[in-house]
Amino acid sequence: GQQVMQIPQYQHVQEGEDFTTYCNSSTTLSNIQWYKQRPGGHPVFLIQLVKSGEVKKQKRLTFQFGEAKKNSSLHITATQTTDVGTYFCAVGFSGGYNKLIFGAGTRLAVHP
Amino acid sequence: SAVISQKPSRDICQRGTSLTIQCQVDSQVTMMFWYRQQPGQSLTLIATANQGSEATYESGFVIDKFPISRPNLTFSTLTVSNMSPEDSSIYLCSVVVQETQYFGPGTRLLVL
């Protein structure tokens, strides 16, 4: 079945440093979604990427979808303590938007 | 968007008992999804709750263990039956609205 590998599992940074998490698939993806889960919270949708080579920005967050649509990344510039949480990528079963397969997640800790 | 509520928010249960989790959405949706998030882990889809028909279960999950009801387009329940400590998890319901998946706040279950 479809799987998505996400690395790293954990990342500890000093406030102000950058952070990147990566997701990779062995198969071509029709879309990929990113979620953030704060400690004790539930996953919150951040963004969806659909097009090959797509780059989207949300303030300090930059999301990329690879040219081959097999990998994606989330980059945070100048991390802040509010960025703490676990970031998940997710892909839909059979390329849809409904049933999602989640990556393992990257837990980000930001030290002030 | 969609606003989702879940009851209970958390519970501590004895092994061998059952717990029913309720999920209420503020709009009518065709499909509702139930996910499980074991401690420190990613999310795994349990089943899709379809209104007017039986739920569709993913590999590793069965109806006898996780019976689901979907009496209308805004409500669903998930029962965790004959619980064991391995069932200690966060259980989340979710819906898709305009290609965006929204999650409820989750039910934190601890089985002793």
Return the residue matching tokens 């999301």.
A63
With contacts defined as CB-CB under 8 Å, which chain A residues touch B31?
98
At A1 the three-state DSSP class reads coil
Task: In whole angstroms, give the CA distance from residue B41 to residue A106.
Answer: 10
| Chain A residues near any Cβ of chain B (below 8 Å) | 33, 41-45, 48, 88, 90, 97-105
Between chains, do B33 and A43 touch, taking CB under 8 Å as contact?
no
3-state SS class at B61: coil
Which chain A residue has the Cα nearest residue B6? A42
B69 to chain A, closest Cα gap in Å: 18
Q: pLDDT tier at B7 (50, 70, 90 boundaries)?
A: very high
CB contact at 8 A, A72 and A47: no
DSSP for residue B58: P
Q: Is the pLDDT of residue A97 over 90?
A: no
Q: What pLDDT is recorded for position B97?
A: 87
Query: In this predicted structure, what is the pLDDT of residue B52?
Result: 82
pLDDT average, residue stretch A73-101: 89
pLDDT tens-place string over residues B63-105: 999 999 999 999 999 999 999 999 999 999 999 888 888 999 9
Count of pairs with CB atoms under 8 A, one residue in A, one in B: 46
Q: In one letter, which amino acid is A4?
A: V
Which residues sit opposite A19 in a β-bridge?
A: A76
Asked if A3 contacts A92 with a C-beta cutoff of 8 angstroms, the reply is no
Mean pLDDT of chain B: 95
Cross-chain Cβ contact A48/B100 below 8 Å: yes
Q: Three-state SS for A82?
A: helix
Residues of B in contact with A105 (CB under 8 A): 42
On whether any CB of chain A is under 8 Å from the CB of B110, the answer is no
The pLDDT tens digits of the residues spanning B22-42 come to: 999 999 998 899 999 999 999
- B101 at the A interface (CB within 8 A)? yes
What's the one-letter identity of residue A30? S
Mean pLDDT value across chain A: 93
Chain segment A22-31, per-residue pLDDT in tens: 999 999 998 9
B13 touches chain A (CB under 8 A): no
Q: What is the mean pLDDT of residues A77-94?
A: 93
Name the residue with higher pLDDT: B35 or B53: B35
Tokens of A21: 């998490």
Residues 6+ apart with CB under 8 A from A20: A73, A74, A75, A76
Q: What is the pLDDT of residue A33?
A: 94
CA distances from A38 to A29, A44, A106, B26, B33 (A): 26, 9, 12, 23, 21
| Of the candidate ranges B14-28, B43-57, B58-72, the one whose mean pLDDT is the lowest | B43-57
| Mean pLDDT for the stretch of residues A42-69 | 96
| A97 touches A91 (CB < 8 A) | no
